[in-house]
Amino acid sequence: MIKVTLKDGSIKEYNQGVTVKEVAESISAGLAKVALAGEVDGQVKDLGYPLEKDCKLSLLTFDDEGGKHAYRHTTSHIMAQAVKRLHPEVKLAIGPSIDNGFYYDFDSQKPFSVEELEKIEKEMERIIKEDLPLERFTLPRDEAVKFMQDKDEPYKVELIRDLPEGEEISFYRQGEFVDLCAGPHLPSTGKVKAFKLLSVAGAYWRGNEKNKMLQRIYGTAFAKKAELDEYLFRLEEAKKRDHRKLGKELDLFNILDEGPGFPFFMPKGMVLRNILEDFWRVEHRKRGYQEIKTPIILSEELWHRSGHWDHYKENMYFTKIDEEDYAVKPMNCPGGMLVFKRRLHSYRDLPQRLAELGLVHRHELSGALHGLMRVRCFTQDDAHIFMTPEQVKDEIIGVIDLIDDFYKVFGFKYHVELSTKPEKSIGTDEEWEMATAALKNALEIKGMQYKINEGDGAFYGPKIDFHLEDSIGRTWQCGTIQLDFQMPERFDLAYIGADGEKHRPVMIHRVVFGSIERFIAILTEHFAGAFPTWLAPVQVKILPIVEKQHSYALELEGMLEKRDIRVEMDLRNEKIGYKIREAQMEKIPYMIVIGDKELEHRTVAVRSRKDGDLGSMSVEDFIDKIEAEVANKLI
């Protein structure tokens, strides 16, 4: 007999060799029906996996990440089987599950069209109706290679040959289709209830641009059709909100062919950007930050000293000045440390909070570029806090509070992740444990729930990441807090303690917006370009009906501008309905319509983007309304 510890802590005894599915059936028929896989001692396994020794077991449904993974991975195999049925000559590459779906890479001479995706979907439906069992089997390396050679699958042969010696080589069979795969999978194809193929893109084999370009078909799958429909609706909504499209339409920003990955901000985009930066500066001054500016180009030696050379050089740009080697900065931290090091500090000077809106450059592959979300130059709203060990807890809590205050202003909900020591890192295990414990302690003092992201920390320290949720449920990683014992050591930073001796400061790296450019992209999509009044590049548009009202319109424009209200006029000889529609398309918060009545009574007829016709009001009342919205940052 073996003892199985279940998720609720209860322990049950079973005969050795009992399968995960049989355990589910012993608990309840309902659970067995919805179970998709099992997590055995931390590893996700098929329902058919036999339990041979005492273990911990969690039964996974579609609500669990492991369950989603097995469900969507199986759907990718169903897609590959459908493609092979329709096009036997196509060669298979890889087909994993990913966030919100799956993909499979194919080597096909003929491009997959939209019509072809529809045919593949129909074949997938047939395979699901066939309810084919997925059977796992293993082969020794030589037999595995021959097996895939006989099937004329060169990419699979390459993958097998690259597996480490001694690693088990497993396959899954469903009907006539067999794929090299570690699993896990659903017990049969009939378990898949709702799926959709979404798009086709190019993808280099194994992500190497020197390799052949394959065709990648993306899809998604859900346990219920209603969930699939909701997801597809969100995708359509996301297309309407695409910041690249809105950036052009609203004349905010653009990426031009002359500078791939290097954004251009237009006048209205700069208004939005400057509002965000001004808000950032005011809030940081309130909290005792001092603003600095460090150079974009610095000596190559500096990046060796900081450790970026060993961990980041493939993403950096380089140049020569006076025959010496220099690098364009990919991060602001080394410059911040040189500012701190300019003189010796006393413990009474600490903490020092040095903030910088620093322009950084990072080399990204052209295929990875995406509007303002993924660029080659961007402005990080960085700050580096230098402190004594005793101040660490309070400083981390202070940054958490600052980030929370910022995100509330924009109406964002968020969740938090704690990322631990990565494979490539600097520093001792003891220093990493101290830093990780300090971040955990701060989160627990604040009563914040958090998820642990094993191995995803920066190379110099663990970090807390803040993931925003936008208006259509998507999440974006923005703010981060990184605790660092390494950089102060590498730069020989010091302060004089109360004992009169030199001590090493501890350092926090942190951003709130993350990248100004990316945050603007997120805001654009979150608000669908309809920015709240305090952020809108143009807050009011004045629309006189006929020419005789132009002089009053000009007078109003002057009154609004004197009160720092951003205003435009439309003096074109067009019908008022056309002017209103255009202002609505420009997503301007307020329109003032000027007719004979308004001219006579020196009033304004106000239309709100959100609430429609607000009727007539005095100019002063209208200005008070705008000023109140701006002062309170209403959204």
Known catalytic residues?
Answer: 333, 362, 380, 382, 384, 463, 509
CB atoms within 10 A of CB 363: 14
DSSP 539-579: -EEEEESSGGGHHHHHHHHHHHHHTT--EEE--SSS-HHHH
Following DSSP, what letter does each residue of 52-111 receive, concatenated? -SSEEEEEE-TTSHHHHHHHHHHHHHHHHHHHHHH-TTPEE----EETTEEEEEEE-SSP
Length of the chain: 635
Per DSSP bridges, beta strands 567-569 and 540-544 are parallel
Q: The dihedral of CA 244, 247, 248, 254: what is its sign?
A: negative
Task: Give the separation between CA 74 and CA 62, rounded to whole angstroms.
Answer: 13
DSSP 3-state of 481: strand
- The token pair at 471 is 């208006």
SS3 34: helix
Does a cis peptide bond (omega within 30 degrees of 0) precede residue 532? no
What are 358's two structure tokens? Answer: 């620093």
Greatest C-alpha distance within the chain: 95
Which string of DSSP letters, residue by residue, matches 155-175? Answer: HHHHHHHHSPTT---EEEEET
Question: Within 13 A of 189's CA, how many CA atoms are on the CB side?
Answer: 24
Q: Across the chain, how many H-helices and E-strands are there? A: 20, 36
